[in-house]
């Protein structure tokens, strides 16, 4: 029987093969010096490089021809772990040769290889059709593996960790601000959006103008909305008693929080309305026949049935806000965007990554966790 290459395996296998021919790392004599690309055998001891090549060849073969999803999962995981450990070894090797001020960063080969392997890993998870708890288990195991790499000092020689060590206190402080903005605006949108969604579900003539108005707000670019809010919030801080004491200012977290809240309303209101609309009319009639009032029907029947759709809106809002909170740094709102914009101003890629990578990780973990929770709900209802 003739083997046909896997459709996804062909481009991802090609990307993985190409990544090995690209620089594995970049070396700079100091923080501001020009980067020098380092190939696989230049960045790693020969035994490490040869082992990585052999494992990559096996991973490409599995990506192209394997049909067993367990095998398609095992090889990308093994290759990803090997790649992560290898980049730490490359950091130690290159830094030891170049001196105390040298900076070593992952190169294009590392990033492209990690991207291809991540896609293959995700595809294998989908093919395995894991239960929600299984997906949470994979997420927990992946997080633990990354934590162990960081805690054991495997990446200590990499420049992004050097940037972190110089800004550890600021990193955690801005991380707290980032979480406050993302989760705080989500909580506010839940408090306002769910009742508004219920209202426009019940009062049909309000639905179109409310949703159109919220859609219009979504079209305003985030930076422009932050700027627009500076004037009214600055006026409120100066003229409304107690506003300044509550943290209301023209710049800082207040306009960022309000902007994120505004962006959060449309998904929350639309998903609440859609979830309630999807409740079968027969269920409502049965609830009414049992003598339940409209309020009791809403609380005991309609909202529980609409909950998966409402939680889908929560997932959309949270992932959106984690990303948008990065822009808040432009108006003094803090968050991981502080490092992104500092890095852009200093042409320091590692500093940009110090802000960007935690943001991506937070959004990814939030999406996977909430997807699993949403999938658990129907099973729990049964």
Residue-wise pLDDT tens digits, 343-365: 888 878 888 999 999 999 999 99
pLDDT tens digits for range 270-319:
999 999 888 888 888 787 788 777 888 888 888 888 899 999 999 999 99
Query: What's the CA gap between 275 and 301, in Å, rounded?
Result: 12
Question: Is there a contact between 88 and 154 (Cβ–Cβ < 8 Å)?
Answer: yes
pLDDT at residue number 247: 66
- The confidence score (pLDDT) of residue 191 equals 93
pLDDT cut 90: percent of the chain above it:
40
Q: What integer pLDDT is reported at residue 381 of this predicted model?
A: 47
Q: Which helix (H) or strand (E) holds 27?
A: strand 25-28
> β-strand 25-28 against 36-38: which pairing, if any?
antiparallel
Which ranges of the chain would DSSP assign to H, the alpha helix?
A: 9-21, 40-43, 46-65, 69-98, 108-128, 132-151, 159-166, 168-202, 204-218, 222-239, 253-277, 281-289, 294-297, 303-324, 337-346, 349-381
Identify the pLDDT of residue 11: 92
Is the Cα torsion angle 66, 70, 71, 73 positive or negative in sign? positive
* pLDDT value, residue 102: 77
Supply the pTM of this predicted model: 0.87
Residue 2, pLDDT score? 60
Q: Does the pLDDT value for residue 1 go beyond 60?
A: no
Q: Which residue has the tokens 């505004």?
A: 262
Tell me the C-alpha distance between 140 and 134, whole Å.
10
Calpha distance 118→113 (Å, rounded): 8
E strand or H helix that includes residue 25: strand 25-28
Handedness of CA 258, 259, 264, 269 (dihedral sign): positive
What is residue 299's DSSP assignment?
I
Q: How far apart are CA 218 and CA 281, in angstroms?
A: 32
**253 or 197, which is more confident:** 197
For residue range 63-121, what is the model confidence (pLDDT) as tens digits?
Answer: 888 888 899 989 999 999 999 999 999 988 888 877 667 788 899 999 999 999 999 99
pLDDT for the residue numbered 292: 77
pLDDT at position 22, please? 92
pLDDT at 339: 92
Average pLDDT over residues 153-169: 89
Predicted confidence (pLDDT) at residue 228 exceeds the cutoff of 60: yes
What span, in angstroms and rounded, lies between the C-alpha atoms of 26 and 160?
Answer: 12
pLDDT at 246: 65
* Distant-in-sequence, close-in-space partners of 203: CB < 8 Å, separation ≥ 6: none
What does the pLDDT read at residue 382? Answer: 42
State what percent of residues in the chain have pLDDT above 70.
95
**pLDDT value of position 243:** 64
pLDDT at 379 (0 to 100)? 47
**CA–CA distances in Å: residue 206 to residues 49, 196, 294, 309:** 64, 10, 19, 21
Q: What is the mean pLDDT of residues 40-61?
A: 90
26 backbone dihedrals φ, ψ, rounded to 5°: -125, 145
CA triple 157-158-164, angle to 5 deg: 100
The number of C-alpha atoms within 13 Å of 312 and in the hemisphere containing its C-beta is 12
d(CA 145, CA 96): 26
- What span, in angstroms and rounded, lies between the C-alpha atoms of 175 and 108? 27
């Amino acid at each position: 029987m003739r083997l046909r290459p896997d459709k996804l395996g062909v481009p991802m296998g090609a990307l993985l093969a190409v990544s090995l021919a690209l620089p594995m790392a970049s070396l700079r004599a100091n923080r501001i010096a020009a980067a020098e690309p380092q190939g696989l055998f230049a960045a790693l001891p020969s035994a490490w490089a040869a082992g990585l090549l052999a494992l990559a060849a096996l991973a490409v073969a599995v990506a192209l021809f394997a049909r067993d999803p367990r095998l398609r999962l095992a090889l990308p995981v093994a290759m990803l772990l090997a790649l992560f450990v290898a980049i730490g070894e490359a950091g130690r090797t290159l830094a030891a040769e170049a001196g105390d001020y040298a900076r070593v960063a992952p190169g294009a080969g590392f990033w492209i290889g990690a991207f291809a392997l991540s896609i293959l890993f995700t595809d294998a998870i989908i093919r395995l059709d894991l239960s929600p708890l299984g997906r949470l288990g994979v997420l927990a195991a992946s997080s633990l593996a990354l934590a162990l790499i960081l805690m054991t000092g495997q990446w200590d020689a990499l420049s992004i960790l050097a940037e972190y060590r110089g800004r550890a206190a600021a990193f955690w402080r801005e991380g707290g601000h980032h979480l406050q903005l993302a989760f705080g605006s989500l909580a506010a949108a839940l408090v306002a959006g769910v009742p508004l969604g219920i209202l426009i579900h019940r009062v049909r003539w309000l639905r179109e103008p409310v949703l159109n108005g919220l859609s219009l707000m979504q079209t305003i670019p985030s930076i422009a909305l932050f700027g627009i809010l500076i004037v009214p919030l600055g006026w409120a801080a100066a003229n409304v008693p107690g506003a300044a004491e509550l943290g209301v200012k023209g710049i800082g977290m207040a306009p960022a929080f309000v902007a994120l809240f505004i962006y959060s309303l449309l998904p929350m209101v639309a998903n609440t309305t859609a979830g309630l609309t999807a409740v079968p009319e027969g269920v409502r009639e049965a609830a009414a026949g049992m003598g339940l009032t409209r309020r009791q029907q809403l609380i005991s029947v309609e909202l529980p049935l609409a909950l998966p759709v409402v939680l889908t809106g929560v997932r959309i809002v949270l992932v959106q806000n984690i990303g948008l909170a990065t822009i808040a740094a432009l108006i003094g709102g803090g968050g991981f965007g502080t490092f992104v914009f500092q890095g852009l101003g200093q042409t320091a890629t590692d500093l940009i990554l110090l802000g960007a990578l935690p943001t991506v990780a937070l959004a990814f973990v939030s999406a996977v966790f909430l997807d699993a929770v949403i999938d658990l709900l129907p099973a729990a209802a049964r």
